Structure 1
Amino acid sequence: MATTATTCPPGQSGTCLYTVGGQAIVNGPPLGTVQSYNPVSNLWTELPPLPTPRFGLAAAATACPVGVAGNCVYASGGSTGIGDVRATLEALAPPATSTL
Structure 2
Amino acid sequence: MPDDTRELPAANEGLYRFLGGSPLTVAFRLVLLSILVGVVLAAIGFDPWNILSSIRLLFQRIWDLGFDAINGLWRYFLLGAVIVIPLWLLSRLFSAPRGR
TM-score normalized by the length of structure 2: 0.17
Q: Point out the structure with the larger strand share.
A: 1
* Higher CA-based Rg: 2
Where relative contact order (Cα < 8 A, 6+ residues apart) is larger, the structure is 1
Q: With structure 1 as the length reference, what TM-score do the two structures score?
A: 0.17
* Structure (1/2) with the larger helix percentage: 2
